[in-house]
A and B are shown apart, each in its own frame.
Chain A
């Protein structure tokens, strides 16, 4: 296994505790975990694209970075207004 895929595997494993924290803690904590999970997922997909030699996955990482930002922004705005 190359360093790229090993790094991607570690990053995917890091998503599990973040998901648990988002599910079991307050919505504010979930929002913080969501923001970090978006960044981690973007890097993981980018590492997978290089490790697997599939460059189209790089496009997916770019789209994921944008959509993760928009989703977190919408969630934060909604959460702030709902209080």
Chain B
């Protein structure tokens, strides 16, 4: 079940991703910078 999409204008979800070495990257740590998140289904 997919939760509702966040509304434009709302605080973005607090998400954490991993780099290739397994180190965490947390969106909330990027405050102060503009971030573009590009979700893809594959890399090529």
A and B interact:
no
Binding site for A on B (CB under 8 A): none
